[in-house]
Amino acid sequence: MAKRIQFRAHGGPEVLEYVDYEPAAPGPNQVRVANQAIGLNFIDTYYRSGLYAPPALPSGLGAEGAGIVDAVGSEVTRFKVGDRVAYGSGPLGAYSTQHVLPQDNLVHLPDEISFETAAGVMLKGLTVQYLLRQTYELKGGETILFHAAAGGVGSLACQWAKALGVKLIGTVSSKEKAELAKANGAWATIDYSHENVAERVLALTDGKKVPVVYDGVGKDTWLTSLDSVAPRGLVVSFGNASGAVDGVNLGILAAKGSLYVTRPTLATYANNADNLQRMADELFEMIISGKLKVDISQRYSLADAAKAQTELSARRTTGSTVLLP
């Protein structure tokens, strides 16, 4: 019997249940994957808490993993049983020993990349790919601000920015996380627990501020981001780790310097199989070349998903965390 994590009502980690279930046979354009490793991400807590609505309750959880194809639908052409695959987007249900999903949501996984690495990097790595290579395409030579630089996304962004020749200023919450961000390639760090971020950005850029701020924290850093970006610069708000940004008066963008703001999602960029595979290929090449190292700092059994989410929400994790079936 297969196992999965599910929740019947919204709430804290205590609502997560580890249960037996019968995975469905794949439909015509679907693939069933025997998960070997599963990624843990902040977005998982948004669905559990109710910030994002799942299609129905009870619901599975998680959208990132890697494994081996163990069944394919009648119209599947891109994959066959035995293929190594990875995925970083829905449907919900990755917190399971077997997961059924559309073939267009899967990518081929090179032999050089382990299942744990893939599960720990797909969502975060593809996020960094679209942020740095598409939302605001960095050419090299820029100085940028990236919030939560020691987290899973931030750790990858530090490395990728350095490989591009970009000076990344990363915000962190402790001396230890500052050291981690620096080790990953951050040009400078700002400890927001005792430093004024906007003032430090101004000093680090000789009064110019930055052309782009990447903000995955949300509510707590919104005004700081606006105060750190140069006139006509871009604030990329891509996450809600501290809560959603709401009640925004657009006039503040004028007052802060005719600013631009975008709220991108991975689904909009990886909106078809070709785009997804192309983005993944660039990510995998960065890893294989050694320019990007994936730090799997925490491993939990699938049964301990609630504990893993508790640690993630308390910001007691660094790098990536995986669940092992």
Alpha-carbon span 50 to 28, nearest angstrom: 31
C-alpha dist (Å) from residue 117 to 51, 174, 186: 28, 26, 22
What's at 125, amino acid-wise? G
Asked whether the predicted pLDDT for residue 316 surpasses 90, the reply is no
Q: How confident is residue 165, by pLDDT bands cut at 50, 70 and 90?
A: very high
Token readout for 19 is 């249960």
Q: Which helix (H) or strand (E) holds 101?
A: strand 98-102
Alpha-carbon span 302 to 15, nearest angstrom: 15
Asked whether the predicted pLDDT for residue 295 surpasses 90, the reply is no
Alpha-carbon span 252 to 223, nearest angstrom: 10
Residue with tokens 């809600």: 240
Query: Per residue in 104-151, pLDDT tens?
Result: 999 999 999 999 999 999 999 999 999 999 999 999 999 999 999 998
Question: What does the radius of gyration of the chain's CA atoms come to, in whole angstroms?
Answer: 20
pTM of the model: 0.89
What is the DSSP code string of 233-244?
EEEEE---TT--
Q: How confident is residue 20, by pLDDT bands cut at 50, 70 and 90?
A: very high
Report the mean per-residue pLDDT for the chain.
95
Query: Per residue in 236-279, pLDDT tens?
Result: 999 877 788 888 899 999 999 999 999 999 999 999 999 999 99
DSSP reduced 3-state for 75: coil
Token readout for 169 is 């200023």
Residue with tokens 């909009």: 268
Instruction: Tell me what pLDDT residue 6 has.
Output: 98
Asked whether the predicted pLDDT for residue 318 surpasses 80, the reply is no
Query: Per residue in 49-82, pLDDT tens?
Result: 998 999 999 999 999 999 999 999 999 999 999 9
Instruction: Tell me what pLDDT residue 17 has.
Output: 98
Residue with tokens 């508790």: 310
Alpha-carbon span 100 to 119, nearest angstrom: 16
| Among 31, 105, 12, 4, CA closest to 64 | 105
